[in-house]
């Protein structure tokens, strides 16, 4: 994951909760912050992590929605 120099300088840490929907072929259909960390830099980094991840295909024909916590730790 790409960490901005600003985040590195500030040593930001926190957890953002991201909700995302995948198609059965693993394609990301949508992603959004559903519970903010309280820091927009952390929220954006968590969202970018999901958007740039390559998800494997899964069985079935229906899209699936997931909600996961993503912890960002910089400068520890």
Looking at the DSSP bridge assignments, the partners of residue 42 are: none
pLDDT in tens, 21-39: 999 999 999 999 999 999 9
Q: Which residues contact 27 (CB under 8 A, 6 or more apart)?
A: 55
pTM of the model: 0.82
Going by C-alpha positions, the residue among 30, 8, 3 that lies closest to residue 18 is 30
Going by C-alpha positions, the residue among 70, 76, 68, 56 that lies closest to residue 1 is 70
Give backbone dihedrals phi and psi of 71, rounded to 5 degrees, phi first: -95, 130
Where do the structural domains in the chain lie, given as residue ranges? 5-73
In sequence order, which ranges of the chain are alpha helices (DSSP H)?
Answer: 5-10, 40-52
pLDDT in tens, 37-46: 999 989 999 9
């Amino acid at each position: 994951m790409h960490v901005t120099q600003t985040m590195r300088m500030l040593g930001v840490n926190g957890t953002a909760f991201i909700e995302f929907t995948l198609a059965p072929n693993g394609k990301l259909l949508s992603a959004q912050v559903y519970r903010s960390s309280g820091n927009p830099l952390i929220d954006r980094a968590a969202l970018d992590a999901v958007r740039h991840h390559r998800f494997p295909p899964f069985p079935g024909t229906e899209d699936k929605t997931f909600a996961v916590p993503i912890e960002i730790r910089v400068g520890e």
